[in-house]
Each structure stands twice: as structure tokens, then as C-alpha cells.
Amino acid sequence: MSQSPRDGGKHISAPSVASAAEIVRLDPGLDAVIAPGTKIEKVASGFVFAEGPMWRSGRLWFSDVKGNKLYALTPDGKPILLMDHSGGVDNVRPDGGFKGSNGIATDKDGNVLVTQHGARRIVRLDEHLKASTFLDRFEGKRFNSPNDLVFAPDGALWFTDPPYGLDGQDSDPTKELKFNGVFRYANGKLTAPIRDLSRPNGIGLTKDGKTLYVANSDPEMFVERYKVAADGSVSNGTRFIEYPGSAPDVPDGLKLDSADNLWTSGPGGIRVISPAGKVLGQIKLPEVAANLAWADDGRTLYITASTSVYRLRVKTPGAMPLYRR
């Protein structure tokens, strides 16, 4: 894998998928994050496009965004269907499209928030998995298709809103917003601090909440890093890492660990990148990696990748979500 500085970040060149799962050490610093010799295990398979993982009550919750279902996966690999038509619609194309649910988070009251591509909203699920609308509009206009979400240390909810759930994407006649934004919801107020990304996707914050990372999926593929002020405004957006535009898979979900290393999906798998921008290593999978989450022990990492869910052990604990169950 070649690397060269570009726009203050790293330019990455790599094949899209590997023939087998493997961990590639690109810097000695990876040994403090993932022990040498660590094996990757396929835990479950048979999904259409697994996405949006979150650990909750001893199970991995995740979406099948093309299968239009919400699952919980037990540690022994048994998938439990929690919700059918999890995207809020049932009239999907034969290939499924991207109409299902995607990102999942637990709120301060212990309820689950789920982004719904099909219904173009974020819903709250109660203990019986009954959905009610949490957010669906900005300044009176419907969202495109909320994608990924994260709670900041101050309790603000951040989420991305690309147009992947719209059949025509930016040219879809039902699209109401003129931009594909990154939103922040705090104290009953919804703002759009970032409006200039073409396809904002994965999103994450450092543990102090002062640095925001957002993946942009296409046509330019990169992860942007921003400074976050106390009022939720952002500044100093810089290109943290870039990918070649010819790769068939794109930057998608991302998370940060307890050392503020960035774990980001993209062409060639999951990359582990230090806060200084050094690529420490790469987790290659035989399928397209979409997103990741840690179990509540902080050291068991799950990766959703196309039809399957993978698992490995890590040395540096993951950063736990603000609210958990």
C-alpha cells in the first residue's frame, strides 16, 4: 500500500477486498492496538448488506440496509430478527435498494434511535420496538435518508444525511433539501453545521468531543476532520485521509477507540489511523467492510461487511458510546 501526503492528510491506494481475512501491520504502533497473530472470525452470514452495528444488552444490534431488517446477533452467532421493514417502508425494489434501517444508537433514556433510509427519518424504538418519529425534517423540509449517528460527550446528537435512500439520489424528484448535510441536535434545536460534502456517511467524535470525523463516500472519497466549538459550530475542516476514486467500494462507517485512533472503513477494508494521521494497519476482509462496533468489554470488535459479520480481539479498548444498555 502506498501513501503520500495530500491536502494535509494521507492518500491511500489499495485493492478493494482480500481473498481471505487478514491483518496487515503497516507500522509498529499497531502492536499496541492489535496483538500480533490475532485472528479474524466470521461470526454470522446470510445477510444482504449488514450495516450500523451497536452493542446492546449482550448482543450486537445491526441493520440489513438492503434486506430492510433489524437484527440482534448473540455472541455465539445466532441472528435474531427484531424488526422487518426496518426502514419504515415495504415497497422496495426487487434488489432491495438502500431502503432499510442503518445507524443505531442508544439515547439517554435507554431507548434506541434508528435511522430509516426508506422513511427518511430517525425513529425512537421503545422497549416493545414500537417506532415513533424522533426527527424527520430540517426547516420544514424532509431529510434525504439519515445514515449514521453518534452522541457527543455533551449529549448532542450528530448524524449524516446523504441521498442513498432516494432512488434518484440528488436528482430524485422527492428530494427536498438542496444539500447533503451533517446535522446536530441539542436542547431541542436542530442545526446543519456542515453542508458542503457530496455524500457524508460515517461519523465519529473524539472522547473530548472537540474533534469530529466525517467520511465522504463519493465521488471524492475521503475522511474530513473538523474542530468542534462548545456551541456545536465546526471549523478548520481538513482532509485527514483520501482514497482513490477508482475503487469499487467507498468510505463508510467509522469509530474511534479509547486512544482516539480512527478505525475507518473504505476501499481495502478497515484502516487503523493514529490521531497524527499515521496508518498503523489494515484489516482486510473477503467482503466489503461497512461499519464496526465494540462489545461492552471494549476489546471485542465486530465488523459488518456485506453479507457477513466478523469479529476479532483488540488490545486498545474501543471508545464506548455515551449512552449504553
Domain 2-313 = CATH 2.120.10.30:
yes
Per-residue model confidence (pLDDT) at position 69? 97
Q: What residue spans define the domains of the chain? A: 2-313
More confident residue, 218 or 314: 314
Q: Angle 282-285-286 (CA atoms, 0-180°, nearest 5)? A: 150
Q: What gap in Å lies between CA 72 and CA 44, rounded to an integer?
A: 11
Q: Is the pTM of this model over 0.85?
A: yes
- Position 15 pLDDT exceeds 90: no
- Summary mean pLDDT of the chain: 93
Nearest Cα to Cα of residue 145 among 128, 163, 123, 171: 163
The dihedral through the CA atoms of 51, 120, 256, 218 has a sign that is positive
The dihedral through the CA atoms of 182, 147, 59, 85 has a sign that is positive
Per-residue model confidence (pLDDT) at position 34? 99
244 Cβ contact list (under 8 Å, min separation 6): 11, 12, 13, 221, 267
Q: What pLDDT, in 10s, does the model give residues 33-89?
A: 999 999 999 999 999 999 999 999 999 999 999 999 999 999 999 999 999 999 999
- Position 322 pLDDT exceeds 90: yes
Per-residue model confidence (pLDDT) at position 264? 98
Q: Angle 321-271-313 (CA atoms, 0-180°, nearest 5)? A: 60
pLDDT grade for 2, boundaries at 50, 70 and 90? very low
